[in-house]
Amino acid sequence: MENKQLLLFIALSVVILLLWQAWQGDFAKKPQTAAPTAATASKVPATADVPAPPAQTAPAPTQTPAATASAVPAEKGLAHGERIRVVTDMLIAEIDTHGGDLRQVDLPHYPIAKARPDVPFRLMNDDTAKIFVAQSGLLSTSPAPDHHAIYQAAKNEYRLADGANELKVPLTWVNDQGITVTKTYTFHRGSYVMDVDYVVNNASGQEWRGRQYRQFERARVERESRFIYTFTGGAISSQENKYRKLSFDDMDKETLSKEIKGGWVAMIQHYFVAAWVPGQDESDHLYSKALGDGLYVLGLSSSEKSVPAGGKGEFKSRIYAGPKLQDHLAAVAPNLELTVDYGMLTFIAKPIFWLLEHIHGLVRNWGWSIILLTVIIKLAFYKLSAASYRSMANMRRMQPKLTQLRERYGDDRQRMSQAMMELYKKEKINPLGGCLPILVQIPVFISLYWVLLESVELRQAPFILWLNDLSAKDPYYVLPLLMGISMFVQQRISPAPPDPLQAKIMMALPVVFTAFFAFFPSGLVLYWVTNNVLSISQQWYILRSLEKATTAKT
Stronger pLDDT, 356 or 397, i.e. the higher one = 356
Stronger pLDDT, 140 or 22, i.e. the higher one = 140
Alpha-carbon distance values, 438 to 13, 80, 184, 498 (Å): 12, 58, 56, 21
pLDDT above 90: percentage of residues in the chain: 39
Distance CA 18, CA 265 (A): 28
pLDDT above 70: percentage of residues in the chain: 72
357-416 pLDDT, tens digit per residue, is 999 999 999 999 999 998 998 888 777 766 666 666 666 666 666 666 666 766 666 776
Q: Which residues contact 70 (CB under 8 A, 6 or more apart)?
A: 81, 82, 97, 150
* pLDDT over 60 at 92, yes or no: yes
Stronger pLDDT, 275 or 439, i.e. the higher one = 275
Using left for φ > 0, alpha for ψ between -120 and 50, and beta otherwise, residue 4 falls in: alpha
Contact 216, 23 (CB under 8 A): no
Q: Band of the pLDDT at 64, cuts 50, 70, 90?
A: very low
Region 1-18: what's the mean pLDDT? 45
| pLDDT reported for residue 128 | 75
| pLDDT reported for residue 132 | 94
User: Minimum mean pLDDT among 47-51, 206-210, 319-323: which range?
Assistant: 47-51
Strand ranges in 262-372 using DSSP code E only, listed in sequence order: 264-269, 272-277, 283-292, 295-302, 305-307, 312-323
Region 297-306: what's the mean pLDDT? 93
State the number of CA atoms in the 13 A half-sphere of 120 facing the CB. 18
517-529 pLDDT, tens digit per residue, is 888 888 888 988 8
Query: What is the pTM assigned to this prediction?
Result: 0.78
Region 205-226: what's the mean pLDDT? 85
| pLDDT reported for residue 35 | 36
| pLDDT reported for residue 552 | 63
Domains of the chain plus CATH, in order, are: 4-21+349-553 (no CATH), 31-332 (2.70.98.90)
Region 187-214: what's the mean pLDDT? 93
| pLDDT reported for residue 522 | 87
| pLDDT reported for residue 254 | 87
Q: Band of the pLDDT at 231, cuts 50, 70, 90?
A: confident
Q: Band of the pLDDT at 42, cuts 50, 70, 90?
A: very low
Distance CA 344, CA 446 (A): 10
* pLDDT over 80 at 417, yes or no: no
Distance CA 5, CA 496 (A): 8
Query: Which strand ranges, in their side-by-side order, compose the sheet holding 179-188?
Result: 166-174, 179-188, 193-202, 312-323, 272-277, 264-269, 233-237, 244-246
| pLDDT reported for residue 89 | 94
Q: Which residues contact 405 (CB under 8 A, 6 or more apart)?
A: 416, 419, 420, 423
Helix (H) or strand (E) holding 334: none
Candidate ranges 2-6, 13-17, 346-350, 419-423; pick with highest mean pLDDT? 346-350
Residue 24 in 3-state DSSP?
helix
Region 210-222: what's the mean pLDDT? 91
User: Minimum mean pLDDT among 270-284, 451-465, 536-550: which range?
Assistant: 536-550
| pLDDT reported for residue 209 | 92
Using left for φ > 0, alpha for ψ between -120 and 50, and beta otherwise, residue 327 falls in: alpha
| pLDDT reported for residue 495 | 58
Distance CA 501, CA 504 (A): 5
Region 314-319: what's the mean pLDDT? 94
Beta bridge partners of 85: 94, 157
Q: What one-character DSSP code corresponds to residue 336? A: G
| pLDDT reported for residue 158 | 95
* pLDDT over 50 at 253, yes or no: yes
Q: Band of the pLDDT at 21, cuts 50, 70, 90?
A: very low
Distance CA 387, CA 380 (A): 13
Residue type, 250: D
Q: Band of the pLDDT at 32, cuts 50, 70, 90?
A: very low
Q: Band of the pLDDT at 169, cuts 50, 70, 90?
A: very high
* pLDDT over 50 at 65, yes or no: no
The mean predicted confidence, pLDDT, of the chain is 79
* pLDDT over 60 at 295, yes or no: yes
423-458 pLDDT, tens digit per residue, is 666 666 665 555 556 676 778 878 888 888 888 998
| pLDDT reported for residue 223 | 65
Stronger pLDDT, 420 or 472, i.e. the higher one = 472
| pLDDT reported for residue 171 | 96
Helices (H), 364-497: 366-380, 382-397, 399-409, 413-427, 435-454, 478-492
Q: Band of the pLDDT at 289, cuts 50, 70, 90?
A: very high
Q: Band of the pLDDT at 496, cuts 50, 70, 90?
A: low
